[in-house]
Amino acid sequence: MNKQLFMATLLLTSLTSYAQKQNFDLQQLLKEKKLITNNREVVPLTDGDKKGISLSGVVWLKGINFSTGTIEVDLRGKDEFQKSFIGIAFHGVDTITTDVVYFRPFNFRAADPVRKIHAVQYVSEPEFPWHKLRDEKNGMYEKAVDPAPKGSDWFHAKIVVGEKEIAVFVNNASTPSLTVEKLNSRKDGLIGFWNGGLNGDFANLTITK
């Protein structure tokens, strides 16, 4: 009986987890005006099996409130020094007040070891921008990406957001490239795409709550 109860509980947990997983067709969201673009240009993009969007700035998912869970997405930036910054914004209040996990693709395979450890970054805007964290907590909120993709290639990011901790995995690695403590007390908020500088590409977004 105990074994049957255990198996039933395991099955129920699996079904519940499955029900909480959402896959998003980004081009369909764009077509149906379910993206808050903040006066930014967002264009559809198809590259092989990657069917997504290209943009610069912050673009929110309309009607989606995110608290804790896992965000998975395919990203592609540019391998151009200091011109490509791409990631995911979450627990957002607006485009000014938000948490962001973002990547600097031009640093992924940098020969300079200092640049290489500045590949993935967590910030909490506006209180904790990257330069404040680098000055006051150097090496804690930005790390190298392992395994390191080419700076111009698509890569898969998995961002696990807990109540107090955030972990970032790249290209299905078993070990996180970055593990940090959350820098504010916000429990939930807007979620969307974050990109600075040159246009960046996004595809295959999945959110598991």
Residue 54 lies in a domain: yes
The yes-or-no verdict on residue 16 having pLDDT over 90 is no
Question: Cα–Cα distances in Å, from 157 out to 16, 69, 146?
Answer: 24, 14, 11
- Whole-prediction pTM: 0.90
pLDDT at position 12 is: 41
Report which of 120, 121, 110, 114 is spatially closest to residue 81, judged by C-alpha positions. 110
Residue 9 lies in a domain: no
pLDDT at position 142 is: 98
Q: Is the CA virtual torsion 157, 50, 27, 195 positive or negative?
A: positive
pLDDT at position 9 is: 37
- List the CATH number of the domain containing 51: 2.60.120.560
Asked if 145 and 129 touch (Cβ cutoff 8 Å), the reply is: no
Q: Sort strands 50-61 and 190-208 into parallel, antiparallel or unpaired.
A: antiparallel
Range of the domain at 35: 21-208
Instruction: Catalogue the long-range contacts made by 165-168 (C-beta closer than 8 Å, 24 or more residues apart).
Output: 166/99, 166/101, 166/122, 168/101, 168/120, 168/122
Q: What is the pLDDT of residues 79-116, one digit of tens each?
A: 999 999 999 999 999 999 999 999 999 999 999 999 99
Number of domains in the chain: 1
Q: What is the pLDDT of residues 136-166, one digit of tens each?
A: 999 999 999 988 999 999 999 999 999 999 9
Q: What is the pLDDT of residues 155-207, one digit of tens each?
A: 999 999 999 999 999 999 999 999 999 999 999 999 999 999 999 999 999 99
Q: How far apart are CA 53 and CA 155, in angstroms?
A: 15
For the residues 53-59, what does the mean pLDDT come to? 98
Residue 119 lies in a domain: yes
The yes-or-no verdict on residue 15 having pLDDT over 60 is no
The yes-or-no verdict on residue 17 having pLDDT over 80 is no
- State residue 106 phi and psi, 5-degree precision: -70, -10
Residue 178 lies in a domain: yes
Q: What is the pLDDT of residues 24-55, one digit of tens each?
A: 999 999 999 999 999 999 999 999 999 999 99
